[in-house]
Amino acid sequence: MQALAQRPIKRVVDTKRTSAAVLIPCYIKDGKYHVLFIQRTDRVRDHKSQISFPGGACESIDKSLADTALREAEEEIGLDREDVKVLGQLDDMATAGTNYVISPIVGLIPCPYQFKVDEFETNEIIEVPIAALLDEKCMEEGTALVDGRAVNSYFYHYSNKVIWGATARILKQFLAIISELITQGASLETQ
């Protein structure tokens, strides 16, 4: 995962969009790497009921994009920022249906962890083995309707969940980095 800290980051600069950050929480469970998602409630303002990474809009109290991601993860799932080892950042991602530029921050978290879910924002925590996401049968390309218009998207299927939109585009980039590490000899198992 050291490759994350060393890679150049592509920034999206658009003053008409709101800066946001998400945390991609990774952890080892049963000897295998996993990634954590949340399913948002239907009560939140944007991305109702969608599966996403913990995160949200930057606020004036945030000193950095990593601060935003860590603050939001703390608010949404009770993940203490002191328990996250930030590994690096992915490229910025503009959303199609809302007006955000998302900066994805990758972090390693302990497992097991006693999460405290904010029930207004978070409906469910979803744990997915990274190996399952790398299975080529897991992902398909297609179109999604966003504000009445067709938008090209990726769709990741795991169990009975579908990850799509900006989260799927971020996930695709993350998995491409993981695949490259595997090609170089890394393993998704710790034993």
For 127-156, write each residue's pLDDT tens digit: 999 999 999 999 999 988 777 778 888 999
φ, ψ at 16 (rounded to 5°): -85, -5
Looking at residue 5, what is its pLDDT? 72
pLDDT in tens, 66-123: 999 999 999 999 999 999 999 999 999 998 778 899 999 999 999 999 999 988 888 8
pLDDT of residue 191: 46
pLDDT of residue 48: 56
Q: Residue ranges of the alpha helices (H) in the chain?
A: 2-6, 65-77, 130-134, 165-183
Please state whether beta strands 51-52 and 18-29 pair in parallel, antiparallel, or not at all (unpaired).
unpaired
For residues 126 and 184, which has the higher predicted lDDT (pLDDT)? 126
pLDDT (0 to 100) of residue 46: 57
Percent of the chain surpassing pLDDT 70 = 92
Read off the pTM: 0.91
What is the signed CA dihedral for 64, 37, 124, 78, rounded to 10 degrees? -30
Is residue 40 over pLDDT 90?
Answer: no
Mean pLDDT of the chain: 89
Q: Class for domain 2-129, per CATH? A: alpha beta
Length of the chain: 191
Ranges of each domain in the chain? 2-129
pLDDT of 80:
98
